[in-house]
């Protein structure tokens, strides 16, 4: 049993609800209106054309994110790169090693703190970005066409409000 208090036209009304009645008032939102599920579905819709674009490169979407962050911000330490590429640090360590083996990034140790590594994009890594730039811009244009320019920008602003790193 649960007592629920409601204000109705300025009058406080108490109501006794059974467990089954209570569960009806605290029902979870429909999966069609569930934010976590909607975000997962939207992510799949957003990532599908990007994955398709990357099929010919031999790199994964996570590796693409690392290259994009390095292209945009330049050389940086591994911890900062992991945060900006939305990766866990152990995952970045593995991804950076793979990208280094492919010749797409370089890794150097900090002279003062040997535990700290700096990662930078190579010319070969930059070429992958440059070669995919037109296709990537087409993908973004498609999202903007679907959503409209203003909705696209508003969506990015709203999503940034949910980013725990901001």
Q: Is residue 49 part of a domain?
A: no
pTM of the model: 0.79
Asked, for residue 76, whether it belongs to a domain, the answer is yes
CATH number of the domain within which 87 lies: 1.10.10.10
Q: Do the domain assignments include residue 126?
A: yes
Query: Does a structural domain hold residue 139?
Result: yes
The reply to whether 118 falls in a domain is yes
Report yes or no on 51 lying in a domain.
no
Report residue 11's pLDDT band, with 50, 70 and 90 as the boundaries.
low
122 within some domain:
yes
Average pLDDT of span 126-154 = 97
Q: What are phi and psi of 5, to 5 degrees?
A: -105, 130
Considering the domain boundaries, does residue 35 fall inside one? Answer: no
Print the domain residue range for 99.
Answer: 56-161
pLDDT at 15 > cutoff 80: no
Residue 108's nearest CA partner among 72, 67, 75 is: 75
As for how many domains the chain has, the answer is: 1
What is the SS3 assignment for 44? helix
Average pLDDT for the chain: 88
């Amino acid at each position: 049993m649960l007592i629920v208090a409601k204000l109705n036209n300025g009058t406080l009304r108490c109501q006794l609800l059974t467990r089954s009645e209570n569960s009806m008032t605290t029902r979870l939102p429909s999966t069609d209106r569930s934010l976590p599920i909607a975000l997962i579905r939207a992510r799949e819709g957003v990532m599908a054309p990007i994955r398709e674009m990357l099929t010919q490169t031999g790199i994964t979407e996570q590796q693409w994110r690392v290259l994009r962050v390095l292209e945009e911000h330049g050389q940086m330490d591994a911890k900062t790169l992991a945060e900006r590429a939305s990766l866990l640090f152990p995952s970045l360590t593995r991804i950076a090693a793979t990208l280094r083996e492919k010749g797409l990034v370089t890794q150097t140790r900090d002279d003062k703190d040997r535990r700290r590594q700096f990662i930078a994009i190579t010319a070969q890594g930059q070429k992958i970005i440059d070669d995919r730039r037109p296709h990537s811009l087409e993908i973004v244009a498609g999202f903007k066409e679907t959503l409209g320019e203003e909705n696209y920008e508003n969506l990015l602003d709203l999503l940034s409000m949910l980013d725990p790193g901001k």
